[in-house]
Amino acid sequence: MTTIQEVHKQSIDNPDAFWGEQARLVDWHKPFTQTLDFSRPPFAKWFVGGETNLCYNAVDRHAAKRPNDRALVYISTETDEEKVYSFAELQREVERMAAIMLGLGVGKGDRVLIYMPMIAEAAFAMLACARIGAIHSVVFGGFASGSLATRIDDAAPKLIVSSDAGMRGGKAVPYKHLLDEAINLAANKPAKVLMIDRGLDKGFNKVDGRDVDYATLRAQHMDAQVPVTWLESSEPSYIPYTSGTTGKPKGVQRDTGGYAVALASSMKNIFCGGEGETMFATSDIGWVVGHSYIIYGPLIAGMCTIMYEGTPLRPDAGIWWHIVEKYKVNVMFSAPTAARVLKKQDPAYMHKYDLSTLKHLFLAGEPLDQPTHEWIMGELKLPVIDNYWQTETGWPMLSQMPGIEQKPLKFGTPSFPVYGYNLKIFREDGSICDANEKGIVGIMPPLPPGCLSTVWGDDARFVSTYFSLFKEPQVYSSFDWGIRDEEGYHYILGRTDDVINVAGHRLGTREIEEAVQAHPAIAEVAVVGVADQVKGQMPMAFAVVKDAAKVATPELKQALEKEVMKKVDEILGAIARPGRVHFVTVLPKTRSGKLLRRSIQALAEGRDPGDLTTIEDPAALEQLKSALGA
Ligand code: ATP
Ligand code: MG
């Protein structure tokens, strides 16, 4: 039997042979002549000379063999719709959409910005772009006009595909006025806007000569046949923007061939999903997880993918598990934040359903704390796999790889470097850390297939942002702290700009959060460092309790605050003890579920919280302010 260490070593020692082999998982129109061209570091070109197409690999090749098998299931608990598309039907819809785009003047290399809710047409639009070689940039639906305008200006799209409204918690969230405002603000205005009218916002504004109606155009293209545009492997496929947790989002340029191979390989070796099986990733197409594991990954692997519009709690907290039972889901992907939401609900909702088809649950996007990990694994009775990656990398950097070998799971760690990633923990002088020594998570170049090829339109920014941590060696920086134990398990300790310096001791916010969360009354917590005259910085905690009764009176609050501090003393020592523990019912997060630590810290220090357009729930800020005022 092969071990994951052996596979990893092969991939690093002989990338040509390793990736050459993985490339067979993808159909090539023209074979590549060189596996890797690394003549201009840090720019890596994979599968040079090869021609392929993401849409062909995701749709056509399966439709040819298994036309009637399920490809995509669209479920909305917001509008009570449910629709199943076979591979043949998916291909037809994609060709219709592609014909519409061609008709609107979109061609190879043109950008198409997709600003849409989680509806099937969004998937058609992404795949249609891929089919004709247009470069899509999906912007999370419901982003305010300012965030949208920045991305419009950066991507300079010829066409924007949008919809009248999204839905959230049973209410329509109109998009069109936000889009109009954004286009107004933007310097690079699109020639056309293709509107998918869901009938949710009856009176939305239509701009003559610019806005066109999807249903009308679709009716004119019912029999459309649009041939695939073959792309050279390094030609760009799409541009996702990073979540913007640490500031202005970056446009990540993804290639075509490398990405297809990396995803196909990850489906087999990490996610254990194959032809005829079903995957349910609960993310949104606006995030990288949505690109890789709602759309391209499962479809390239010939799986059926589930696109879900709705929350995990409506109509009740059993909805995800109902979907798992109904569609016999084999692979599930979600985020720790969702697991924590479910943890506050009655687990009976989970046990009502037959989950026996489910092999694994993968969680990524932020630290997975031990109590949550332990809880959900105990309830589901299956491996729950923490995996670590970034928009930039497009697929996991650290993970278990059960498709190769199932290693014992440990809590609090996304485990091992994935093959292809020569991932190391670095000291600040560029040398490599020993086991159990904290440092910066970096990747020795070349970056493996699938990772960003550059920053959109700005090669210099790519090099200066990601590769200038040390003079020597030239290493890709993740901007995350990490540690590796003697057994090779890696822990992520927070972002490099999330360090709290208490009297010269550098503490990761993550470590303190873990300690606070070890207290059984705490559901969730954010720790930030606030300026302190004596110690330089002092940790401050904002915690959500599982049971509001525990903090119903000032006395109870005080008592719990003391207990939490004691817990931190026990686990990390008094040096890490938060100066205050404030109790709130919701924490400020980005719409992708990441804590907005910068803003929390700014508020805690009495400063302006900065750009908040990506915030999920503005009420969270009000709570923070009143907690601080108390
Ligand atoms: P920006 O780069 O614009 O500030 P962002 O980093 O939040 O935004 P993403 O690419 O969506 O944008 O998030 C990647 C980051 O999320 C990682 O660098 C890491 O900090 C965090 N992360 C992802 N998965 C995990 C995980 N399993 N454990 C701990 N942290 C994780
Ligand atoms: Mg980032």
**Number of neighbours of residue 488 by Cβ within 10 angstroms:** 15
Q: How far is the CA of 246 from the centre of ligand 1 (A)?
A: 10
- For a pocket test of ligand 1, which of 283, 492, 614 has the largest count of ligand atoms closer than 8 A to its C-beta? 492
- Ligand at minimal distance from the CA of 248 is 1
pLDDT of 536 reads: 85
* Dist. CA 624–CA 603, nearest whole Å: 8
Asked whether residue 335 is assigned to any structural domain, the reply reads yes
Ligand sitting nearest the alpha carbon of 396? 1
Beta strands in 175-314 (DSSP E): 192-196, 211-213, 231-232, 252-253, 278-281, 304-309
Mean of the per-residue pLDDT values for the chain?
94
Which residues are within 8 A (CB) of 216 and not within 5 positions of it... i.e. 6 or more apart? none
489 located within any domain: no
Residue 492: inside a domain: no
Best residue among 154, 239, 242, 399 to mutate for probing ligand 1's pocket (most ligand atoms within 8 Å of CB) is 242
Q: Single out the residue of 370, 383, 244, 361 nearest to residue 293, CA to CA.
A: 361
Query: Which CATH number belongs to the domain containing residue 93 in this structure?
Result: 3.40.50.12780
User: Does residue 493 form part of some domain?
Assistant: no
Q: How many A from CA of 392 to the centre of ligand 1?
A: 10
pLDDT class for 247, splitting at 50, 70, 90? Answer: low
Task: Answer with the residue of higher pLDDT: 593 or 6.
Answer: 6
Q: Pinpoint the alpha helices (H) of 270-314.
A: 288-290, 297-300
Please tell me whether residues 328 and 370 are part of one structural domain. yes
For residue 264, the Cα-to-chain-centroid distance in whole angstroms is: 18
E strands of 141-295, at which residues? 159-163, 165-168, 171-174, 192-196, 211-213, 231-232, 252-253, 278-281
Ligand 1 pocket: which of 138, 252, 366, 499 to mutate (most atoms within 8 A of CB)? 366
Q: Which numbered ligand comes closest to the C-alpha of 611?
A: 1
Centroid of ligand 2 to alpha carbon of 583 (angstroms): 28
Same domain, 416 and 542: no
Q: Which of 415, 594, 599 to mutate to test the pocket of ligand 1 (most atoms within 8 A of CB)?
A: 594
Same domain, 221 and 352: yes
- 499 — pLDDT class (breaks 50, 70, 90): confident
| Tens digit of each residue's pLDDT (9 = 90 or more) over 440-480 | 999 999 999 999 999 999 999 999 999 998 878 899 999 99
Dist. CA 92 → ligand 1 center (Å): 36
pLDDT higher than 70, residue 63 = yes
* C-alpha separations of 570 from 253, 372, 575, 578 in Å: 46, 20, 11, 13
User: pTM for this one?
Assistant: 0.91
Structural contact between residues 442 and 469, judged by C-beta atoms closer than 8 angstroms: yes
Q: For residues 202 and 176, what is the distance between their CA atoms, to the nearest angstrom?
A: 11
In a mutational test of the pocket of ligand 1, which residue from 388, 416, 490, 614 has the highest number of ligand atoms less than 8 Å from its CB? 388
1: pLDDT strictly greater than 70: no
Return the closest-CA partner of residue 383 out of 351, 416, 410, 365: 410
Contact 430/422 with Cβ under 8 angstroms? no
Q: For 382-401, give the DSSP string.
A: S-EEEEB--TTTSS-SEE-B
Residues 528 and 407 in one domain: no
Instruction: Specify the ligand 1 atom closest to the Cα of 478.
Output: 18
What is the 410 CA–ligand 1 centroid distance (Å)?
Answer: 20
Does residue 144 form part of some domain?
Answer: yes
The yes-or-no verdict on residue 630 having pLDDT over 60 is no
Atom of ligand 1 nearest to the CA of 287: 11
How is residue 144 annotated by DSSP?
Answer: -
Same domain as 356, residue 229: yes
Give 607 Cα–ligand 1 centroid separation in angstroms.
24
| Residue from 271, 231, 235, 279 nearest 255 by CA | 235
Residue range 338-380, pLDDT digits in tens: 998 898 899 999 999 999 999 999 999 998 989 999 999 999 9
pLDDT digits (tens, 9 = 90+) for 515-552: 999 999 999 999 999 998 888 899 999 999 999 999 99
Lookup: tokens for 170: 């049973």
Out of 416, 447, 480, a domain closes at: 480
* Alpha-carbon separation of residue 95 from 29, 73, 101, 297, 402 (angstroms): 19, 18, 10, 20, 36
109: left (phi over 0), alpha (psi -120 to 50) or beta: left
pLDDT at 232: 98
Rounded-to-integer distance, Cα 111 and Cα 301, Å: 26
Residue 178 and residue 38 share a domain:
yes
Tens digit of pLDDT for each residue in 261-318?
A: 999 999 999 999 999 999 999 999 999 999 999 999 999 999 999 999 999 999 999 9
Q: What CA–CA distances, in Å, run from 67 to 88, 121, 333, 485?
A: 5, 19, 26, 48
Cα 365 to middle of ligand 1, angstroms:
5
Question: Any residues with CB less than 8 A from the CB of 509 and at least 6 apart, and which?
Answer: 494, 498, 499, 500, 526, 527, 528, 529, 539, 597
Residue nearest to atom 13 of ligand 1 (CA): 390
Q: For the chain, how many structural domains are there in total?
A: 2
Question: Quick one: pLDDT at residue 492?
Answer: 95
- How far, in Å, CA of 292 to CA of 299, rounded? 10
As for ligand 1, residues whose beta carbon falls within 6 Å of it are 242-246, 249, 364-368, 386-388, 390-391, 414, 478, 480, 492, 495, 592, 594
Q: Which candidate, 279, 296, 298, places its Cα nearest to that of 288?
A: 296
Query: Mean pLDDT, to the nearest integer, of 31-59?
Result: 98
Closest CA to 365 of 339, 402, 326, 345: 339
Range of the domain at 94: 4-480
**Which CATH number is 580's domain given?**
3.30.300.30
pLDDT at 194: 98
Residue 199 CA to residue 494 CA, distance in Å, equals 43
Helix (H, G, I), strand (E, B) or coil at 45: strand
- 560-604 pLDDT per residue, tens: 999 999 999 988 888 899 999 999 999 999 887 888 888 899 999
- Report the separation in Å between the CA atom of 389 and the middle of ligand 1, taken as the mean of its atom positions: 7
187 and 318 both lie in a single domain = yes
* Range list of β-strands (E), 435-520: 439-444, 454-455, 476-484, 490-495, 499-502, 505-508
Residue 597: name the closest of 412, 367, 282 by CA. 367
pLDDT reported for residue 465 = 92
Among 252, 465, 480, which residue has the most ligand 1 atoms within 8 Å of its CB, making it the best to mutate?
480
Task: Determine, yes or no, domain membership for 552.
Answer: yes
- pLDDT at res. 246: 66
**Least confident span in 150-154, 253-257, 290-294, 343-347:** 343-347
Of the listed ranges 75-84, 152-161, 236-245, the least confidently predicted one is: 236-245
The last residue of one of the domains, among 480, 511, 533, is: 480
User: What is the helix (H) or strand (E) element at residue 110, kind and residue range?
Assistant: none
In this predicted structure, the answer to whether residue 222 has a pLDDT above a threshold of 80 is: yes
Q: Are residues 470 and 511 in the same domain?
A: no
Q: Which atom of ligand 1 is nearest to the CA of 495?
A: 20
How far is the C-alpha of 260 from the C-alpha of 257, rounded, in Å? Answer: 5
Residue whose Cα lies nearest atom 30 of ligand 1: it is 366
What pLDDT is attached to residue 510?
A: 83
444/509 same-domain check: no
The verdict on residue 488 lying in a domain is no
Assess whether 507 and 464 both reside in one domain: no
Nearest bound ligand to the CA of residue 415: 1
pLDDT reported for residue 444: 97
Under a CB-based contact definition with an 8 Å cutoff, are residues 22 and 258 in contact? no
DSSP per-residue string spanning 528-583: EEEEETTTEEEEEEEEEES-GGGGSSHHHHHHHHHHHHHHHHHHH-GGG--SEEEE
123: CA distance to ligand 1 center in Å?
Answer: 24
Distance 391 CA to ligand 1 centre (A): 8
Share of the chain above pLDDT 70, in %: 99
CA of 41 to the centre of ligand 2 (A): 22
Q: Whose CA is nearest to atom 1 of ligand 1?
A: 244
Q: Do 127 and 66 share a domain, yes or no?
A: yes
Cβ(230)–Cβ(53) under 8 Å?
yes
In a domain, residue 485? The reply is no
Nearest alpha carbon to residue 580 among 542, 620, 524:
542
State residue 573's pLDDT score. 83
| pLDDT higher than threshold 80 for residue 243 | no
Residues 195 and 148 in one domain: yes
State the complex-level ipTM: 0.99
Atom of ligand 1 lying closest to residue 479 CA = 18
Single-letter code of the amino acid located at 19:
W
How many whole angstroms from 243 Cα to the centroid of ligand 1?
8
